[in-house]
Structure formats: structure tokens, C-alpha cells
Structure 1
Amino acid sequence: MRIIIERSNLLKSLSHVHRVVERRNTIPILSNVLLKSEGGALRLKATDLDIEITEAVPASGEQDGATTVPAHLLYDIVRKLSDGSEVKLETNPDGAQMTVTSGRSHFRLQCLPESDFPDITAGTFSHTFQMKSADLARLVERTQFAISTEETRYYLNGIFLHTIDSGGSLKLRAVATDGHRLARAEMEAPAGSEGMPGIIVPRKTVAEIQKLLGEGAETVEIELSDAKIRFTVGAVVMTSKLIDGTFPDYQRVIPTGNDKALTLDRQTFSSAVDRVSTISSERGRAVKLAVADSQLTLTVNSPDSGTATEELAVGYESEAIEIGFNAKYLLDITGQLSGDSAVFMLADPGSPTLIKDGGDEGTLYVLMPMRV
């Protein structure tokens, strides 16, 4: 293989593919990126056996071929080369080494054969549809913070994506929960998603697609089956295995009888929670909400540091109530709300609270209370 490629094009592609490569691997080939030159393009591929990312970039091919080299090492080398430079990639006759040349810089990297590189993309996809990148980004951003990190409940370690008939129209809905809080966002289902299986997209895949969606492509193509999902964003194709498990019946934990409506200014409330929780260095400290007569009092007690309180004017017309929540969870949820106002639908101090976004009817959150 012998090609010449713009440093900026190579760096951009390497920044996409090298992220899925684990820093430490017991299988040496998984530390490498596959480079394949053909037809005036360089195709890059990397995988961790659960996710695979490929991308093709223009290159001047003098001699087609393929090899694999350490992904993070090549990325670091290209990142440190001069802006605007050209990079020459050339393998020696026996394919054991690849030379990276740019200006007066020369690097010789150890290679592993292309034939050893795994391929996870085999199989057919039962459903294919397109949607705006901004719409998928909204579904992911509104829900990803609630993904569980508890490995024993592996079926909660991702976003549950499915279609549902809601109010006479088909919706594409994303749900995530860790047992303490639940986030749900939905939008009109795109054409082609009808009848798609309910799937659980893993946490690492969610993080990678978030980064790709933020790079300016207007649309994303999604292909999926019971076991895999593939995203095509611009020139980048990411294929991922899905979590093989059954997502719990989340509808059962969304309260329907909460009749005490607390309406408040999102930003004012978020800032107040942040201030009063400063009194405690302990993560997850409960903040007590005492509401009565259109006034909300926030209180945090710390045995070591003292007490903090703050009062806010709110909209509330029901009987007085005191309820406690994890301060971090409150900040996570208010950070996702898009409107100026938020509505907390309360029942009693021991029951889940429903939180609605004043600026987005398609999202809602459920938060379990804490003892205070």
C-alpha cells in the first residue's frame, strides 16, 4: 500500500474511528485500525467487537492495499503533524511495517495483517429509515443521563428505542431509567420505522452517536434488526450490537394520579438547588422541598457543615407538602428541560413525582423521592 492523503482529512477520520478502540486490549488486533486503499480513497475501520466504525476519505492512491496499525498511536502522530501538510502512508514489501512520512518527519509502525481483523457487520437489517440529526440528538440528550451504570441490571445500561401509538399517531420514543429516575422523550415516528422491534442501544454507542450528531450532518440513516443497529452520519458508518435483554414495563412506574401541580421557573429553581446543595460535600445529598401558599422553601442539612435554605415564589394551589429529592438528580433533570418553566406533579412524600417540560410536551421525567 502506498498513498498520499491530506493531514486534516486523515485526522478527522482517525478522530472518529479511534474512539471505539479500548486503550488496553488482550487481543492485539483490537488495538489496531484497519487501513484499506482502493479507488482513490482510504477506508478506515476500528472495532471493539461490540461497535464498529468505518469511514472513507479521499486519497491519492499510488498502490492499493490494506494493513492494520495501532489506532491511538497513529492518531497521536497525525495530530502532532503540521497543519496543511500531506501524509504519505507506505507499507514495506512483506507488510510487517508501515512508514508514515510528512515533511521531514518519519515514523515506522508495526503492522498486523488485514486478514486477522474482525468483522461484526455481517447480517441483514429488517428496518431502514431516515430522520433529522437534530431530532435524534434531542431524543438522546433528553434521556441519556438516566441510563443505569449498574452492570448487574445490564438491560438498563442503554436507551430503549421503540415505536408506540400515542393519541392516534405513531411516535418514536426513547426511554432510560436507573431505578431512581426515568426519562422519556418522543417525536413523530419517521417513515419506515413502523413495526420496528423495541431495541436497547448500549451506553457506549449512545455516547458515540452523540458526538457524531454534533458535527453538522443534517440527516442520519438508521438500519436496525433485533440484534444490531447501524447509523450512517455523513461519511461515517457506525454499527453496534444491541443489548440482548428485555426492558422493563416502564409505563407502570409513570404516575397518573398525581394531582398537586407545582409550577416554577426552571433556571431560578436549578440555581437555588445548586446553591443550597453546596453545604454538603456528600454526593446525592437530599434537598427538602417544602411548598405551601405559592412559596417553596429548599433546605439541605449536613451534620458536618450546617444548614442551607432558600425561598422561591412558585405557582401552587394544593395543600402544603414536604418532599425530598436527590440534589444531583434534580439538577440533571432541570438541565435537560428546554422551556422556561417546569411543572412538578406531586402526590405524597413517598410516591414518585412526575416532572413535565414547559417547552416540550414530548418529554417527561419521573423522580423517586428520598427520606428527609
Structure 2
Amino acid sequence: MTNNASTETRPAPIAVSFASSDLRHAARLLRLSWTRHNTTPVIAMVRVVLDGASSKLSATDLDSQITVEIDAEIKTAGTFLVHLNSLASMAEMARGRIRIRQEHQAGEAGKASLNLLIIEDDDTTIRLVDLIEPSDYPAIDAERMRTDSRFAKGADFEMAQGELLRMLKHCRHCISTEETRYYLNGVYLCRKPEAGTLRAVATDGHRMCCADSEVDIAGFPSTGVIVPTRVVRALEAILDSPANEPVRLEVGECRMIVTAGRVRLTTKTIDGTYPSYEKVIPERSTRLQAHLSRSSIDKLLRVAGALGHSKMINPAAKLIPSKQRIEISNHEGSDASAPAQVSADPNMAPVAYNLRYLAQQARVTPEFTLSTGAAGDPAIILAPNAPDTLWVLMPMRA
């Protein structure tokens, strides 16, 4: 009598090898879209898809996903999951090629069989129990996203990596960290009025950055998109390439796909309405102009600790035209100052600004000019190394 029961047919075990340097680079990028503390084990995994002569490694936090394509020597194609920490640790230790293969271990008496994932180089071997099926991985499908109706009327354009990186870096220190105003927790990408070119805006209510480009963005959503802070940081790392190859941006309603070389970032954007930032930009005035440098501001910031300002969140720095100084003081009457090139209308009163904000601005633009029309008006900041960007800074009480 023939037994119809047959052993379960398993796909051929995967076998592949990578250059350790390629795997290290991929792991560092994948961490940008990976959550260390989560309650869903599959989110801690990297999905590896082997097809042809290359492999695609993906990590996601459910809101965004980074996919990195690297070269590989593939003996058996397929898809598997591996914990990012295990992959990254092996990549950091190894100096030659890293080999990964699957192995089925039959169970002994009273024990279940195991599926193992073996990661090894010439010296070290890591054996991981393979418990999660690749089909359980919550991948964000970029191709499916492109067919979504929210992408139908979006924009698809290319620009230099360095240009987008410049805009993001100029904006980052102005991003709000207040969770109650979640719609300010990122960089707002929109069309520059009348010009129809790409503009990036960020504000925390006390300062604002407005960075422009010459990139035409026909079809860009009229409401713009708000790129979350975490995605902004990821993009800065992805775009920090010496080759300055073009980066492709596909932007739709609450969705965005960014492709730079062999790296693709797919993300949700913040679902909210950005405030009318243009109303905050004042008319340019030369009633008071101050030319400031990072060296003088950093010295003043260090001296502030001697006056007890290290315990203060927002120390005020006062621009005093008559003394050509920038000055801070404490409630006891002690003060410290540094030289500052200040020119002002004779009737112009001294103006104070948050010293920490000035220090953060100086890290982005080591030299800049601050100008305002009155003591209570917002100031405009311009810098010689950023001709396409302006910043707005609100004054404060001294």
C-alpha cells in the first residue's frame, strides 16, 4: 500500500556572500529607518531579497523604509530575514567576505526541527534560529505606492544630491521639537510662489529657514509635503555622497519616494497643514545691521557659563551699536561681551536675541549678517555661503 503522505517540500536553502565593506555601509544606512525599541519582533529584522547578481536589503519602522542594493555572489536566490544587529555586528568584525546560508536541522527525539541561518567569515560563525517567515515582513511596496491615486497628480523630478542636501542642512536647526505642534516637526517642501521651483521651509515659531532652489517641480502638490525630522536626518546621510549624482524625488499626497543611486527611501509624510510662513518674513531693513561670526558667538557662549547662564535655557544676547559689542548679563548686574560689527540708526534701541539660537545659526553659517527695522520686529539673517537661503529670527526681552 502506497503512503500518500509526503515530506514537506522546502525551497532550496539560500546561499550568498557579500563584501564586508558593502554590508557595513548598507547596515549603517538601514539603521536610519530602524527602531531599536519595538514590541513587534519582525520590525527588528532586515529583509534580504536575492535576485540575479545583486541583493536588496530593506529595513522599516512602518512609516518609512530604506532599501539598499549591493553586489553579491548568489549561489541560491530567495528571500530571508535577519536581525539588523546580528548583520551589522558581523559586518563590523569581518574583513573578508561574509557568507550567509540556510540550514535545516532535523529534530532529535522529542525535539522540533529547526531552520537555521548561518552567518560566517573565515574566523567567526553565527548560528541564528530562523523563526519568522519572510512573508510576514511588513514591507512598504514602492511600486504599489506609485499606482496609488494619491500619486496620480504628484511630481516626479530630479535634482543634484548636493542641492537637496544643502536645503535640508540649512533648515534642520529650525525644525520644531514640540510634539503638540506635530505639523512643525519636519521640513516643509513646497513650490516657491510665482517661480514654481522647489522651496524648503522649517520653523519652530521662534526662528525660520526658507531655502530656495532653481529646480522646476511641475505637478508638485499645491499643499506641499511635510517631511518628518527622522526622515530628514536619514536623507542627509543618504545624500552625503561625494559623487553628487542626481537624486529622484517622487512626491504625492502624504507619500514620497526618494532614490539616490542604489538607495531608495519610501516614506509617509506628516498629514497636516503647514502655517502661512510667508506672512512671517519681514521687509528688509538696514536700520540695524550686525555682522556676526561663529568665533565671537562661541566665545560668548562659553563665557555665559561663568555668569550662571549655563542653567538658563534661553540666555539673551544684546546687540549694542554704540559699543560695537554683543553682550550678555545676569540678574545681579554682571555682564560679558564680545566684539560685534554693528551699525544702526541713532534712534535705534538695543535688540536682544537668544544666544543659543545665534550659536546654532553660526554652526550652519560661520559668518552671517542680521538686520532688522525695529527692536520688536523679526530679524532677517543672510549669509555669504548661502545666497539662496534666508532665516528669520524673533527678538526676545533682554
Q: TM-score under structure 1 normalisation?
A: 0.91
> Which position in structure 1 is the counterpart of 2:175?
147
1:25 offset after TM fit, Å? 1.1
> Can you give the 5+ residue segments of structure 1 that lack an aligned partner in the other structure?
none
- The question of 1:321 aligning with 2:349 is answered yes
> Which position in structure 2 is the counterpart of 1:90?
101
> Which position in structure 1 is the counterpart of 2:386?
360
> Which position in structure 1 is the counterpart of 2:240?
214
State the alpha-carbon separation in 2 of the partners of residues 334 and 201 from structure 1.
24
Q: Which AA in structure 1 matches 2:348?
A: A
Match of 1:348, SS state, is coil
1:216 offset after TM fit, Å? 2.5
State the alpha-carbon separation in 1 of the partners of residues 259 and 360 from structure 2.
29
Can you list the C-alpha shifts for 1:51-108, whole angstroms capped at 9, x where unaligned?
1011221111111121111112221122112x2x111101124883210011131101
Which 10-residue stretch deviates more, 244-253 or 259-268? 259-268
Pairs within 5 Å for 1:21-40: 21-40=34-53
Match of 2:273, SS state, is coil
State the alpha-carbon separation in 1 of the partners of residues 319 and 386 from structure 2.
26
Which 10-residue stretch deviates more, 264-273 or 61-70? 264-273
1:46 offset after TM fit, Å? 0.6
Identity %, equivalent residues: 28
State the alpha-carbon separation in 2 of the partners of residues 80 and 304 from structure 1.
56
Count matched residues: 363
CA 1:330–1:265: 2 relative to 1, 3 Å: closer
Match of 1:314, SS state, is strand
Q: Which AA in structure 2 matches 1:289?
A: K
> Which position in structure 2 is the counterpart of 1:195?
219
CA contact (8 A) 1:32 1:70 kept: yes
State the alpha-carbon separation in 1 of the partners of residues 333 and 80 from structure 2.
60
Can you list the C-alpha shifts for 1:100-132, whole angstroms capped at 9, x where unaligned?
011131101233211000122332243211111
State the alpha-carbon separation in 1 of the partners of residues 312 and 261 from structure 2.
40
Q: Which AA in structure 2 matches 1:147?
A: I
State the alpha-carbon separation in 2 of the partners of residues 109 and 77 from structure 1.
12
Pairs within 5 Å for 1:261-272: 261-267=288-294, 269-272=296-299
2:191 corresponds to which of 163, 170, 180: 163
State the alpha-carbon separation in 1 of the partners of residues 173 and 203 from structure 2.
9
> Which position in structure 1 is the counterpart of 2:138?
118
CA contact (8 A) 1:273 1:331 kept: no
CA contact (8 A) 2:292 2:340 kept: no
Q: Which AA in structure 1 matches 2:168?
A: V
1:172 offset after TM fit, Å? 1.2
Give the superposed CA RMSD.
2.2
CA contact (8 A) 1:43 1:54 kept: yes
State the alpha-carbon separation in 1 of the partners of residues 120 and 332 from structure 2.
60
- The question of 1:336 aligning with 2:397 is answered no
Which 10-residue stretch deviates more, 30-39 or 216-225? 216-225
CA 1:304–1:115: 2 relative to 1, 3 Å: farther
- The question of 1:288 aligning with 2:307 is answered no
- The question of 1:228 aligning with 2:255 is answered yes
1:259 offset after TM fit, Å? 4.8
1:179 offset after TM fit, Å? 0.7
State the alpha-carbon separation in 2 of the partners of residues 314 and 351 from structure 1.
17
State the alpha-carbon separation in 1 of the partners of residues 84 and 289 from structure 2.
52
1:328 offset after TM fit, Å? 0.8
Q: Which AA in structure 1 matches 2:215?
A: A
State the alpha-carbon separation in 1 of the partners of residues 265 and 114 from structure 2.
28
> Can you give the 5+ residue segments of structure 2 that lack an aligned partner in the other structure?
1-13, 105-112
CA 1:259–1:104: 2 relative to 1, 3 Å: closer
1:133 offset after TM fit, Å? 0.8
2:119 corresponds to which of 100, 116, 121: 100
State the alpha-carbon separation in 2 of the partners of residues 137 and 109 from structure 1.
39
> Which position in structure 2 is the counterpart of 1:252?
279
1:211 offset after TM fit, Å? 0.6
CA 1:110–1:215: 2 relative to 1, 3 Å: farther
State the alpha-carbon separation in 2 of the partners of residues 51 and 225 from structure 1.
15
Q: Which AA in structure 1 matches 2:336?
A: A
Q: Which AA in structure 2 matches 1:349?
A: A
CA 1:283–1:362: 2 relative to 1, 3 Å: farther
Greater strand fraction, Structure 1 or Structure 2:
1
CA contact (8 A) 2:320 2:327 kept: no
CA contact (8 A) 2:376 2:395 kept: yes
CA contact (8 A) 2:157 2:248 kept: yes
2:91 corresponds to which of 67, 75, 78: 78
Which 10-residue stretch deviates more, 358-367 or 314-323? 314-323
Which 10-residue stretch deviates more, 207-216 or 116-125? 116-125
1:281 offset after TM fit, Å? 0.8
CA contact (8 A) 1:161 1:174 kept: yes
Which 10-residue stretch deviates more, 258-267 or 231-240? 258-267
State the alpha-carbon separation in 2 of the partners of residues 224 and 50 from structure 1.
15
State the alpha-carbon separation in 2 of the partners of residues 348 and 277 from structure 1.
26
